Chains A and B, each alone.
Chain A
Amino acid sequence: MFGQILYTQVKWSRAAVAVLSAIAFVLPALLWRAVHQGWMREYSALEVMRGFAVLGPALGVVAFFVGFILVAQAWAADAATRHVYALSLPIPWARYVALRYGAGALLLLVPTIALWLGVMLILSLVTIPESLNAYPGTVTLRFLLAALFSYSVMFALQYLSGKRAAYILLTALVGVFAFSLVLGLAGYGEVVDAVTGALLRWPGPLAVFASDWMLVDV
């Protein structure tokens, strides 16, 4: 069963996975190139740190889209027939959802491995300033975690019934916006900061996206 689910997932997502993997593979090189013009010259620790502090979040953005797009591809195939086929299969719905989730999550490994290969390639070609170290494993793992979270959010929004998911999302967006606006206008910015902090700082849900994505650091 899982084999066939994975097969269909691969078939539907292969073009997207290929594109995302290509982007993930070249991204480290693009980041390094963007740190400063020029390729194989000696970089100072400062410019490397500054460069990655500014550009590193691009990894988080790509991770977000990896998760988002992989869900969209699979869900679209089921949604095209209003999930009639999925509902007519002789397995509990929860199990079907688990199979779909697992297959998609497995596919997240492809762009992640592509990123890792890209990181290792660029690290083998450039010279890192002596006081700094490279963290290819850390950045790659964080990329995978970020993609997994993004994937899970999109998956939940899609596979809950459409109406319920729409209500939840709309309520959350309107609620957060109204809350921030009212409190901000009333001068209680620290409450807004507290809520934002709760989302972005560990163990908040967005902690994996926050802070620097430093491929190279002290």
Chain B
Amino acid sequence: MTDAIRIRHLAWRAGKEFAIRDLAMTVPAGAIYGFLGPNGSGKTTTIRLMLGMLPPQDGTIEVLGHSVPRFAHRALERIGYVPERLHLYQTLTVDESIRFHKAFHKDFDAAEAERLRARFGLREDQLVSRLSKGEAGKLMMLLALSQRAELLVLDEPTDGLDPVIRREVLGALVEYVDARKATVFISSHLVHEQERICDWVGVMDGGRLIAELPMQEFRSGIKRLRVAQAPAVRDAAPFALLSREPLSAQHEQWVVRGWQPEMREWFQRVGADVRDIQDLDLEESFVELLRGARTVTQETR
């Protein structure tokens, strides 16, 4: 098995407002996959479909070799899940939550759980309902990591946490991944955070996966160009044009994806000239990617 998660032609709709259409996603085993997208793009919905909590209306989902939702419970034996919001029983204490979770996961490492509990500074007798947002996030991460799971599915695990706690949580995650070579699927709208740890990126917008590429390509392959005598036709270009706008009578600003240095020759062949090439940081790349996808959507309507 080379893919931890494989999704093909996934479709799901809730009412008239939101739909996931023809989603295809591949998460290689051992990868740290960053699932990016603005709020409301369908990240959490996709994760819930992936874990069998929602029924797909079309398409196939395979997680760790098991068909979901039919055999979701088998996949969940090997998945550590941290949802967006606290999902644990509020009237249990930290210790009771750990014991309850342990009862359902046969590979649960109680010693590791205790170690993480001490590291995160969680008291055994604290009620879950009395935990702060950060403490709750730490507890959920503790449980997921103590399961010794092959696949971690983390939905906005650091959302709303202060930088100190965020660093603690991500630090524990990175240690886990280094030690166990687990696959991590981490969803977030915090692009810069993903940049540090992910090696694959999937970008979601409006229920569609608009891009799925290695982080390196995402990081270095999106450029802002200043082009003189910009050609009208762009379909034959060797790169993906995300946006273009005029700067002056002579020059246009292009944002392209998949840029390679030798692509300058193409501009020369079409009578244009690249005057300037600017690197974009991940956040700017993400914004341009979204803008490009939304422009295409408007043009096709």
Contact = CB atoms under 8 A, between A and B. Distances in A.
Interface of A: 1, 3-4, 7-8, 11-12, 77, 80-81, 84-85, 87-93
A3 B104 CA distance: 11
Contacts of A7: 96, 100
Given A11-B96, A88-B76, A89-B73, 8 more contacts: A4-B104, A7-B100, A11-B92, A12-B91, A88-B83, A89-B76, A90-B73, A91-B73
Contact of A88 (B53, B99, B100): B53
Contacts of B99: 4
Nearest to B90: A80
B53 A84 contact: yes
Contacts, number: 58
B88 A85 contact: yes
A90 B76 contact: yes
B81 interface: yes
Given A87-B53, A89-B76, A90-B76, A8 B104 contact: no
Interface in B67-88: 73-74, 76-77, 79, 81, 83, 85-88
B89 interface: yes
B87 A84 contact: yes
B52 A87 contact: yes
Interface string B87-121: 11111100010011001110000000000000000
A95 B183 CA distance: 28
8 contacts: A7-B100, A11-B96, A77-B89, A84-B83, A88-B53, A88-B76, A89-B76, A90-B76
Nearest to B74: A90
A1 B102 CA distance: 9
Contacts of B81: 88
A93 B83 CA distance: 19
Interface in B43-59: 51-53
Closest 9 pairs between A and B when the two form their complex, measured CB to CB: A90-B76, A4-B103, A90-B77, A84-B87, A85-B87, A81-B87, A87-B53, A4-B100, A92-B73
